[in-house]
Amino acid sequence: MTKARIDDRFAALKAEGRAAFIAYIMAGDPDLEQSFEILSGLPGAGADLIELGFPFSDPMAEGVPIQRAAQRSLAAKTTLAKTLDLVRRFRLQDTATPIVLMGYLNPVLNWGFEAFAAAAADAGADGLIIVDCPPEESGPLADALDAAGISLIRLAAPTTDDARLAIVARRTSGFMYYVSVAGVTGAKEADETAVAPAVVRVRQASGLPVAVGFGIKTPERAAAIARVADAAVVGSALVDEVAAALAEGSPATPKVLVKAAALAQAVRTARA
Binding footprint of other proteins on the chain (CB under 8 A): 55-64, 67, 71, 74, 79-81, 104-111, 131-134, 136-137, 154-161, 164, 168, 179, 182-184, 187-188
- Closest listed residue to residue 105, CA positions, set 72, 140, 74: 140
In the complex, what is the shortest distance from the CB of residue 264 to other proteins, in angstroms, rounded to a whole number? 27
In SS3 terms, 127-176 reads as: EEEECCCCHHHCHHHHHHHHHHCCEECCEECCCCCHHHHHHHHCCCCCCE
In the complex, what is the shortest distance from the CB of residue 223 to other proteins, in angstroms, rounded to a whole number? 25
Q: Give the separation between CA 264 and CA 246, rounded to whole angstroms.
A: 23
Are 218 and 224 spatial neighbours (Cβ–Cβ below 8 Å)?
no
| Residue 51 falls in the annotated catalytic set | yes
Backbone angles phi, psi at 85, to 5 degrees: -60, -40
Active-site residue (options: 16, 33, 62, 114): 62
Amino acid at 53: G
| Residue 248 falls in the annotated catalytic set | no
Q: What is the DSSP annotation of 5-63?
A: HHHHHHHHHHHHT-PEEEEEEETTSS-HHHHHHHHHHHHHHT-SEEEEE---S--TT--
Q: Give the separation between CA 69 and CA 24, rounded to whole angstroms.
A: 11
Active-site residue (options: 51, 137, 220, 241): 51
In the complex, what is the shortest distance from the CB of residue 43 to other proteins, in angstroms, rounded to a whole number? 28
In the complex, what is the shortest distance from the CB of residue 74 to other proteins, in angstroms, rounded to a whole number? 6
Nearer to other proteins, 97 or 138 (CB): 138
Could you tell me which residues come within 8 angstroms of residue 160 by beta carbon, excluding any fewer than 6 positions away? 168
In the complex, what is the shortest distance from the CB of residue 63 to other proteins, in angstroms, rounded to a whole number? 8
- The DSSP output letter for 237 is H
Are 134 and 142 spatial neighbours (Cβ–Cβ below 8 Å)?
no
Q: Give the separation between CA 2 and CA 224, rounded to whole angstroms.
A: 30
Nearer to other proteins, 46 or 63 (CB): 63
Nearer to other proteins, 93 or 159 (CB): 159
**Cis amide prior to 30 (ω within 30 degrees):** yes
Could you tell me which residues come within 8 angstroms of residue 113 by beta carbon, excluding any fewer than 6 positions away? 140, 141, 143, 144, 145
Q: What positions carry a catalytic annotation?
A: 51, 62
